[in-house]
Amino acid sequence: MTASQHAPLTIGDLRGSRRRRQRELIIRSAFFLAAATAVLISLLIVLTLIGEAISFITRVDPAALISGSWRPRADSYDLASLIAGTLIIAGIAMLVAAPLGLGAAIFLAEYATPRVRRTIKPILEILAAIPSVVLGFFTLTVLSPQVIDRFCPGSTPVFNMAAAGVAVGILITPLVASIAEDAMYAVPNSLREASYGLGARKRMTSLRVVFPAAVSGIVAALIVGLSRAIGETMIVALVAGGVGGAVFNLNPCLPGQTMTAAMTAQAIGSDQAAGGLAYSSLFFVGFVLFVMTLALNLISERFVRRIRSAY
């Protein structure tokens, strides 16, 4: 029997040696620094965007901002024509992706056998990983000349906003389907059983019970899809026909330009020296795009939080 066995144990004994505590502190700080890089990056993004955007606004001729076309080389910076192009293409994309994506999601969550679901779900996820430049090439060579041009007679062949919109819609369909399916699959079975118990058929149960119960997840899926459609670049850069600049235009069968593609078009078009007005205009467009997608993300996050608290 040694004396130490009878000595009362103090908090100090439990805290361990000083070296051990120091090591813990160092590791903890390193992890915190890693997490803080995320904030640092967003600060950098916001600062660079705002700095150059302000420099653009102060130097640009106000008349150039409402000139009716976006042609940086001709010193016309009409943001409205970019926003029109962006909204038209994203709108067409949603017209394609919402019915297809939600239809596929309801089928997988409510109708498909577990085996079919287990097979299709990974395929959807893999298809969602196809790079957009690939879909852009396919649209250029097949979708636009063979399909879209039939519905847009007398328009600008191949290079138009309708083709870009449909292609973006196909691109985001697996994403929308996957998120919406997760939301519907998470609806507890007791709700479905209650509905069947009241004599409802499958269609009634899917549309009037499961769909409303999962509505926040479904809305979130649509908003994430919309945000992706607005941020989509490569399909538009290849197909929308606005590489050399675009005039303000609301007809989807004609060429147009989006904010994203306007940025790449300038980056590949010419070798502008830093400090030029065209260079600053990139950041101005980027800032508007950043604010739009940030707003959409914040809204969708609110909806996702609601679904989490529900079940």
Partner 1 sequence: MADAARLRTPATTAAVQRALEGHTRPWSEYIFQGLLFMALLISLGFLLWLLGDIFIRSLPVWTDRGVGGFVGSNLSSDPLKAGIAQGLFGSIVLMGIVVVLVLPIGIAAAIYLEEYATDNAVTRLLNTTVRNLAGVPAVVYGLLGLAVFVAIMKPVDGLNNGRNLLAGGLTLAIVVLPIVIITAAEALRSVPKPIREAGFGVGATKWEVVRSHVLPYAAPGIFTGVILTIARAFGETAPLLLVGAAAAGFGQAANATVFERVFGPYTALPTTIFSWARQPQEEFKALTAAAIVVLLAVVLIINAIAIILRNRYERRW
3-class secondary structure, 155: coil
| Nearer of residues 147 and 194 to partner 1, judged by Cβ | 147
CB of 200 to partner 1, least distance (A): 11
SS3 198: coil
Q: Which of 22, 27, 68, 188 binds partner 1 (CB under 8 A)?
A: 27
**Which of the residues 78 through 117 are near partner 1 (CB under 8 A)?**
99-104, 106-108, 111
Q: How far is the CB of 63 from partner 1 (least distance, A)?
A: 26
Report the nearest approach of partner 1 to the CB of residue 204 (Å).
9
Instruction: Tell me whether strands 69-71 and 76-77 are parallel, antiparallel or unpaired.
Output: antiparallel
Q: Does 193 bind partner 1 (CB under 8 A)?
A: no
Using CB under 8 A as the binding rule, the residues of this chain from 268 to 307 that contact partner 1 are 268, 274, 282-283, 286, 289-290, 293-294, 296-298, 301
Contacts of 177 by beta carbon, 8 Å cutoff, 6+ apart: 100, 101, 102, 104, 105, 108, 124
The 118-157 contact track toward partner 1, x by CB under 8 A, reads --x-xxxxxx-xxxxxxxxxx-xxx---------------
Residue with smaller CB distance to partner 1, 150 or 201? 201
Give how far the C-alpha of residue 147 lies from the chain's centroid of Cα atoms, to the nearest Å: 26
Distance of CA 160 to the CA centre of its chain: 22
What's the token pair of residue 144? Answer: 């636009």
CA angle 41, 42, 47 (to 5 degrees): 100
Site for partner 1 in 206-235 (CB under 8 A): 224, 227, 230-234
